[in-house]
Every structure is written in structure tokens, then in C-alpha cells.
């Protein structure tokens, strides 16, 4: 970092977090209310907070930043609220409805529900125009592009005021010429329309996925373009030296133009920086297998990194829309501080997914909320300070919390208030653990091999319990937990995904040569793109993966491979990696069966210098940081235990605290359960560990 600052801005549902790192390694966290109606307003407000705190005008900070990074929910919100642009689709005649047929499936969980509505169409049927043309499964042209059909579609779009168009033909991935030609005609007839080609955006097999991805991209592109233009202009007016970088759901940065061309990469960028942050805070402890969990007010996000590689999803339904492009795998549950406890029709206690949100909020906020929430339970259990959160700025009412737990849960279930509250704590933890199972066990990973990193304001009260439930013995909890995602953005690299498709059986030299040349081809594109972004070749890294399967299977397993030449010699290594992964996931492999490759992907990274690591230095002795005691509950019998409470702000490097204990940081409260010990590291994180019982 050659300049004074680096700034990360992460827009969340309630707050927009600002993380400002300076040359010395100090990191400051600011929070401004999000302003979904005018997202740039929150940025102005946040910069005002920073100016107020540091006494330095915004222009001075921004012009002294080496990078300004923005994680935005603009695309996400447009998709959630169906407020994207008016979109048209050009597709192969006969296949206009794949978008609406959605593979003929109704989502699980609603099988007999008579009121679960179909997904809202981003492009209504009359704007999905079929074109006569056809490429076959071997890439040959069966029917040439009918240009008159394309022109007729353009006329319809013109008359209807369509702003953005996706073009996606069957098998265009093997023969993109028809899409390209249709695009030329469109540009000529509708020069102002934003264009998305399926074969460029997502060059992989699966027509429905490609078409849907292209449509989501087209639908969001004009919205993203307007936003990026406004933000870029604002930062330029403040004297920014570099273009603003935007955070993508693939866990990397991009410049504004890429966000317009590839808007679909913007949709879940919020939690996508968690893995980078998790890895970063674990580095001082030499740990590379990391699960990062982020519990906020309404949701709980889980991400996983193994050996420095983060799990990525492709071809998933996101908000009911099929998205092909790689997104950091984020498992999101309705479990947060505001999650409501209730009793279902069977008489079982449930937690969430409904949330009291921030209005009225948990009962203990005293804003009229009457439903018992996780925060209320944590207050009853003695975990949270009744004097209030965020350094007393948000006072809590323990009486209201107790009353809500008692009337809604404890009395109906015949339990004491403490037992009911501990039950709420246990069930919400169990929900989160089942979510963690989905990213670990279901994907063939043993959670016990991982370190658990806590992010988000509400996680720290639950982190020991979660770790214990998963059999995890090591936790890393940064003091900065509540702004960890924004921090993750400022230590991330620029990242673009390049893909190709080549369904090839791995039993001949020609196939190996083809795979090798495809890798080289797409990587050349990626390198050119990054060079244009200002990266030197030495700062560009490449990672490769192959989607493979046994011949006859239809779903692939993604396997990371090195950047070696793919040939008859190295292929054994590749196949072996696949067999192993298949075993991990599904308990067996078929070493005698032929393996085939379907999709090819290279991720190109433009390496960004990292800010200097924080050095905490000495603090007061632990005994001096003791603020007092609270009677807290750590067991299902509801028994209260006198528990010391520490002021985390006073602790320094090397401080060691054994549970049961509570450590209060300004933006989070850490509960150290009995049996666990927290040690504060110079890097600003608590390393929380326990002796594993019975080996």
C-alpha cells in the first residue's frame, strides 16, 4: 500500500459498513444506515462519519486511497423486488418456454401447498421471440440463422420499449456464430439496447441454465449500469486516482464496465467476501481449512474454504432463478438475532425463519416487538449486556425479553423461562448446524477438520456452541467480526471466470490436446482482460478446474487441477483427483469406468497488494479488564452460573481468558462457554480452543 488508505464499503440490508485501513495497519469500522432508494446516499453518509471521526475531508481520504471497493446490493434488490429493466429474449424457435417451464419442477418443500406461486417471469412470454436456426449436439449447423426472424423480433422490442436483450440459442456453446450474428443485427437496429449473449456470458452446456443466466444478466444490466455510473462519477469528483472496484459474488473484484457486462456476477456479493476474510484472519495461526459463519439480524451465511480454495456453486437456483456462473457457495438461512421463536402445529418449538427485523425488532429493543427472538433469549441467558449493545447506544430491556419468552414459549411448553430461552438458543444453533452440514458433510468434508471463523454482530454469542455441535475445536473470532465482510473486500484480488465447454471422453490423446488448448485459449483472454485493467503478467494468477463425471452420469463433480500441460501423462493425475472426490462425496468410485470432461474453467486473478496487517500490541492485564459479573446459563437445566465479563477494548496481545466468560467488544459480545479458552492474538483475533473430549 503506497498511499495512505484503502476503503471498503459493504452495503447490507440494514447497515452499510465502511472499513478504512491505513498504512500502519490500523483498521477502522464505521456503520451508516443503508439507503436502498438511493444507494449512493449511504456512501455520502458514511464518508461524512469518517470525516467527522478523523477530521479529514472526504476528498483528502479518497484521493489518498489506493483502492475504493464497493459491495452493492443494488442488483440483488432489483432481483428480489422484480424491479429490473424491461427485457427481451431471442432464442431458438421451439424453445421459447424453457425459461418458464423451469425443467417442469416445483421447488421441494411446497409439494402440496396450494398457494405457493410460480416464479415471476423476468421476460413475459410475448417478449420471448423464437428464431428459426439450429445447431446440433456435435456443433454442426442443421439450420442457418434466419435473419428475417431476428429483424422481426427487433421490431417487436422496439415497439414494446425493451431496454435490454438476452440472446441464447440451443448449442450456441459449441457454435456461437448464430448468437454473434443476431447480436450484430440487434446492435444495428436497436443501438441503445444493452445486449447479453449466452455463449459469451456462460459458455457451458445446459441450455436452460445458460438462457436463464443470460436473462438475469440482461434484466439487471441497465440497473447496474446506472448505479456504477453514479458511483464512479461521485468518486471521480472526490479525486479518486483509480476506478472504483466492485465486489462480485465470485469472491473477487471487478471494474465498473465488467459489472455492467456481467451484472449477474453482482447479485450475491455481500457474503462472498467472507471466505477471503476468514482465510486472512486464520493465516497467523497457520490454518487454511476454514468455515466462516456470519450471523446478522435476519440471516446466517455460511462459506467454506479448504486448503485455501473456496467452495463455489454453479448452476443453482438463486431467488428462484437458475444461475450458471460461479458464485461463492453461500448457504443462507433465516437465523439471526431477530429470528422469532414459535410453536408449530405439531407443538414443536421452532426458530425463524421469520424475523422481527429492525422494526419492531426483538422484544428487548422496546420498540413494540412482542415476539421472542434470539436476541431476547441471549439477553435472558445473561449473554448480552442489559445496558446495551454498540457501547450502550442501543439499550436493551431484559424485562420485555423475559415476558416475551415466558408468554409465547415457556408457559405453553411448560418450561421455566431459562429452559425455554436455552431451548431457543439450542434450536437456532441446531438450525445453523444443519446449514453447516449442507456445506460440509453433504459436500464430503468433515467439519472437524476445519477452523470456525465468526463474522457478523450476532455470531460471537453462538460460536462456541456451534463449534461444539460440529465437533470443531478451534475458533477464530476477530475483534472486527461485525464488519468482517467489508474487510474481506479490501483484501481481495480482482477475479474473472473464463469458461469453455468440451464434452470429451478421457480415453484418447486428441481429447487431452483439446482440453489443453482450450485452457490456453480462455486464459489468454483472461490475461488480456487483466492487462487492460492495469495488471502486469507477474501479478496475474490462474487456477483451473474441470467438471468431470463417469460416462453416463449427467451431473459433474468439479475438480481443481494444477496449471500443468494436459496430456497422456498428466491425465492419470487428473482422473485420480476425480475418483477421490467422488469417493469423498458419495462413498464410492468406479475406477474401471471411463471418465469424461464436460466443462472447463479457468479463474484469472489480478493480485492486489494487501494492506499491512494489524498489530494489536500490549493491553492492560486481564484482571484489570474485568468489568463485573453476570449470571449466565450454559446448560439445558437453566442453571445460572456467575460469569465474569471483560472489556475487550482493554485487552492486548497474549491475554488469555478461560470460560465461562463473556468478552464485550464495541460491536459484538463474545460468549466463551465452559471448557473453552480464548487467547487474544497480536493480529486482533481471539483464538478460542478447547480440549477435545476423549481424543
- Please identify which residue in the block is written with the cell numbers 469417493: 583
Q: How many angstroms separate the first and last alpha carbons of the chain?
A: 45
Asked if residues 292 and 274 have their Cβ atoms less than 8 Å apart, the reply is: yes
Asked if residues 642 and 631 have their Cβ atoms less than 8 Å apart, the reply is: yes
* DSSP count for the chain of H helices, then E strands: 19, 35
Of residues 216 and 258, the one with the C-beta less far from other proteins: 216
Q: What is the dihedral of CA 360, 364, 370, 371, to 10 degrees?
A: 90
* In the complex, least distance from residue 370 CB atom to other proteins, rounded to whole angstroms: 11
How far, CA to CA in Å, does 442 sit from each of 279, 318, 330, 550, 560? 22, 19, 14, 20, 18
C-alpha closest to that of 509 among 570, 558, 562, 599: 570
* In the complex, least distance from residue 521 CB atom to other proteins, rounded to whole angstroms: 21
Q: Is 178 left (phi over 0), alpha (psi -120 to 50) or beta?
A: alpha
Tell me which H or E stretch contains 257.
helix 256-261
| Rounded Cα gap, residues 384 and 362, in angstroms | 13
| Rounded Cα gap, residues 113 and 115, in angstroms | 6
| Rounded Cα gap, residues 100 and 81, in angstroms | 18
In 3-state terms, what secondary structure has residue 590? coil
Non-local CB neighbours of 292 within 8 Å, separated by 6+ positions: 274, 275, 277, 278, 302, 303, 304, 305, 452, 453, 454, 455, 484
CA torsion sign, 512 to 513 to 514 to 517?
positive
* In the complex, least distance from residue 505 CB atom to other proteins, rounded to whole angstroms: 8
* In the complex, least distance from residue 147 CB atom to other proteins, rounded to whole angstroms: 20
Backbone angles phi, psi at 206, to 5 degrees: 115, 95
Of residues 103 and 623, the one with the C-beta less far from other proteins: 103
Of residues 98 and 305, the one with the C-beta less far from other proteins: 98
Of residues 529 and 581, the one with the C-beta less far from other proteins: 581
* In the complex, least distance from residue 428 CB atom to other proteins, rounded to whole angstroms: 10
Of residues 398 and 585, the one with the C-beta less far from other proteins: 585
* In the complex, least distance from residue 598 CB atom to other proteins, rounded to whole angstroms: 9
Of residues 307 and 694, the one with the C-beta less far from other proteins: 694
Q: What share of the chain is helix, strand, coil (3-state, %, to 5)?
A: 35, 30, 35
Of residues 213 and 492, the one with the C-beta less far from other proteins: 213
Looking at residue 691, the DSSP 8-state letter turns out to be P
* In the complex, least distance from residue 666 CB atom to other proteins, rounded to whole angstroms: 32
* In the complex, least distance from residue 375 CB atom to other proteins, rounded to whole angstroms: 18
Of residues 95 and 406, the one with the C-beta less far from other proteins: 95
Of residues 271 and 341, the one with the C-beta less far from other proteins: 341
* In the complex, least distance from residue 73 CB atom to other proteins, rounded to whole angstroms: 27
| Rounded Cα gap, residues 276 and 305, in angstroms | 9
* In the complex, least distance from residue 117 CB atom to other proteins, rounded to whole angstroms: 6
Per DSSP bridges, beta strands 300-306 and 656-658 are unpaired
> Largest Cα–Cα distance in the chain?
82
How far, CA to CA in Å, does 639 sit from each of 84, 220, 408, 624? 53, 53, 21, 28
Non-local CB neighbours of 112 within 8 Å, separated by 6+ positions: none
Of residues 82 and 642, the one with the C-beta less far from other proteins: 82
Asked if residues 269 and 72 have their Cβ atoms less than 8 Å apart, the reply is: yes
Of residues 96 and 664, the one with the C-beta less far from other proteins: 96
Backbone angles phi, psi at 636, to 5 degrees: -65, -20
How far, CA to CA in Å, does 403 sit from each of 243, 300, 366, 637? 53, 26, 12, 19
In 3-state terms, what secondary structure has residue 380? helix
| Rounded Cα gap, residues 216 and 164, in angstroms | 11
* In the complex, least distance from residue 131 CB atom to other proteins, rounded to whole angstroms: 14
Of residues 165 and 170, the one with the C-beta less far from other proteins: 170
Of residues 564 and 586, the one with the C-beta less far from other proteins: 586
Of residues 252 and 423, the one with the C-beta less far from other proteins: 423
* In the complex, least distance from residue 386 CB atom to other proteins, rounded to whole angstroms: 25
Instruction: Please name every residue paired with 558 in a beta bridge, in sequence order, or none if there are none.
Output: 547
Asked if residues 364 and 379 have their Cβ atoms less than 8 Å apart, the reply is: yes
Of residues 100 and 609, the one with the C-beta less far from other proteins: 100
Of residues 69 and 420, the one with the C-beta less far from other proteins: 420
| Rounded Cα gap, residues 684 and 509, in angstroms | 53
Of residues 55 and 695, the one with the C-beta less far from other proteins: 695
* In the complex, least distance from residue 320 CB atom to other proteins, rounded to whole angstroms: 13
| Chain mean position to CA 520 | 29
* In the complex, least distance from residue 126 CB atom to other proteins, rounded to whole angstroms: 5
* In the complex, least distance from residue 402 CB atom to other proteins, rounded to whole angstroms: 18
* In the complex, least distance from residue 465 CB atom to other proteins, rounded to whole angstroms: 12
Looking at residue 315, the DSSP 8-state letter turns out to be S
| Rounded Cα gap, residues 361 and 397, in angstroms | 12
> In terms of C-beta density within 10 A (0-12 exposed, 13-18 middle, 19 or more buried), how is residue 161 classed?
exposed
* In the complex, least distance from residue 464 CB atom to other proteins, rounded to whole angstroms: 17
Amino acid at each position: 500500500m503506497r498511499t495512505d488508505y484503502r476503503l471498503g464499503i459493504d452495503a447490507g440490508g440494514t447497515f452499510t459498513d465502511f472499513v478504512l485501513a491505513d498504512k500502519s495497519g490500523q483498521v477502522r469500522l464505521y456503520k451508516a444506515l443503508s439507503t436502498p432508494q438511493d444507494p449512493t446516499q449511504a456512501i455520502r453518509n458514511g464518508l461524512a462519519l469518517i470525516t467527522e471521526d478523523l477530521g479529514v475531508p472526504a476528498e483528502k481520504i479518497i484521493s489518498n486511497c489506493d483502492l475504493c471497493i464497493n459491495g452493492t446490493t443494488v442488483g440483488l434488490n432489483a432481483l428480489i423486488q422484480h424491479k429490473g429493466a424491461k427485457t427481451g429474449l431471442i432464442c431458438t424457435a421451439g424453445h421459447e418456454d424453457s425459461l418458464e417451464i423451469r425443467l417442469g419442477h416445483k421447488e421441494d418443500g411446497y409439494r402440496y401447498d396450494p398457494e405457493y406461486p410460480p416464479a415471476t417471469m423476468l421476460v413475459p412470454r410475448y417478449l420471448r421471440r423464437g428464431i428459426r436456426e439450429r445447431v446440433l449436439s456435435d456443433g454442426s449447423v442443421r439450420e442457418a440463422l434466419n435473419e428475417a426472424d431476428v429483424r422481426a423480433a427487433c421490431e417487436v422490442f422496439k415497439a414494446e420499449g425493451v431496454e435490454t436483450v438476452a440472446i441464447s440459442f440451443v448449442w450456441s456453446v459449441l457454435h456461437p456464430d448464430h448468437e454473434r450474428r443476431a447480436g450484430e443485427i440487434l446492435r444495428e437496429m436497436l443501438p441503445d439496447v444493452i445486449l447479453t449473449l449466452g455463449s459469451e456470458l456462460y459458455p457451458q452446456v445446459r441450455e436452460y441454465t445458460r438462457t436463464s443466466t443470460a436473462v438475469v444478466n440482461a434484466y439487471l444490466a441497465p440497473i447496474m449500469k446506472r448505479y456504477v455510473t453514479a458511483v464512479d462519477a461521485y468518486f471521480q469528483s472526490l479525486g479518486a486516482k483509480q476506478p472504483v472496484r466492485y465486489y462480485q459474488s465470485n469472491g473477487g473484484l471487478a471494474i465498473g464496465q465488467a459489472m455492467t457486462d456481467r451484472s449477474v456476477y453482482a447479485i450475491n456479493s455481500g457474503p462472498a467476501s467472507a471466505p477471503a476474510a476468514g482465510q486472512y484472519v486464520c493465516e497467523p495461526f497457520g490454518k487454511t481449512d476454514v468455515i466462516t459463519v456470519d450471523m446478522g439480524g435476519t440471516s446466517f451465511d455460511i462459506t467454506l474454504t479448504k486448503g485455501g480454495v473456496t467452495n463455489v456453486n454453479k448452476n443453482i437456483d438463486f431467488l428462484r432463478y437458475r444461475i450458471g456462473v460461479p458464485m461463492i457457495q453461500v448457504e443462507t438461512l433465516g437465523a439471526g438475532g431477530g429470528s422469532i421463536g414459535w410453536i408449530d402445529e405439531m407443538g414443536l418449538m421452532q426458530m425463524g425463519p421469520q424475523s422481527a427485523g429492525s422494526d419492531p425488532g426483538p422484544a428487548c429493543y422496546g420498540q413494540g416487538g412482542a415476539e421472542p427472538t434470539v436476541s431476547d433469549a441471549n439477553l435472558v441467558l445473561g449473554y448480552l449486556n442489559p445496558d446495551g449493545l454498540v457501547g450502550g447506544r442501543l439499550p436493551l430491556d431484559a424485562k420485555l425479553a423475559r415476558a416475551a419468552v415466558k408468554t409465547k414459549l415457556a408457559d405453553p411448553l411448560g418450561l421455566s423461562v431459562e429452559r425455554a430461552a436455552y431451548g431457543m438458543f439450542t434450536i437456532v444453533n441446531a438450525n445453523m448446524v444443519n446449514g453447516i452440514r449442507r456445506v460440509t458433510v453433504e459436500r464430503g468434508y468433515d467439519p472437524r477438520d476445519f477452523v470456525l471463523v465468526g463474522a457478523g454482530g450476532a455470531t460471537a454469542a453462538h460460536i462456541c456452541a456451534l463449534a461444539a455441535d460440529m465437533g470443531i475445536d478451534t475458533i477464530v473470532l476477530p475483534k472486527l467480526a461485525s464488519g468482517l465482510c467489508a474487510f474481506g473486500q479490501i483484501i481481495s484480488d480482482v477475479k474473472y471466470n473464463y469458461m469453455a465447454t468440451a464434452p470429451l471422453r478421457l480415453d484418447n490423446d486428441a481429447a487431452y490436446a483439446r482440453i489443453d488448448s482450450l485452457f490456453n485459449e480462455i486464459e489468454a483472454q483472461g490475461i488480456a482482460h487483466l492487462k487492460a485493467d492495469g495488471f502486469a503478467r507477474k501479478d496475474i494468477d490462474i487456477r483451473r478446474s474441470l467438471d468431470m463425471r463417469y460416462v453416463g452420469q449427467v451431473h459433474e463433480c468439479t475438480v481443481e487441477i494444477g496449471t500443468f500441460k494436459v496430456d497422456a501423462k498428466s491425465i492419470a493425475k487428473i482422473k485420480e483427483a476425480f475418483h477421490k472426490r467422488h469417493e469423498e462425496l458419495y462413498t464410492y468410485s468406479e475406477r474401471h469406468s471411463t471418465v469424461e470432461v464436460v466443462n472447463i474453467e479457468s479463474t484469472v486473478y489480478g493480485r492486489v497488494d494487501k494492506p499491512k496487517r494489524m498489530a494489536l500490541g500490549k493491553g492492560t492485564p486481564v484482571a484489570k479488564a474485568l468489568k463485573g459479573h453476570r449470571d449466565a446459563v450454559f446448560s439445558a437445566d437453566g442453571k445460572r452460573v456467575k460469569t465474569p465479563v471483560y472489556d475487550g477494548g482493554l485487552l492486548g496481545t497474549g491475554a488469555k481468558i478461560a470460560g465461562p466468560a463473556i468478552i464485550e467488544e464495541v460491536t459484538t459480545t463474545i460468549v466463551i462457554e465452559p471448557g473453552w479458552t480464548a487467547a487474544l492474538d497480536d493480529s486482533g483475533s481471539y483464538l478460542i480452543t478447547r480440549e477435545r473430549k476423549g481424543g
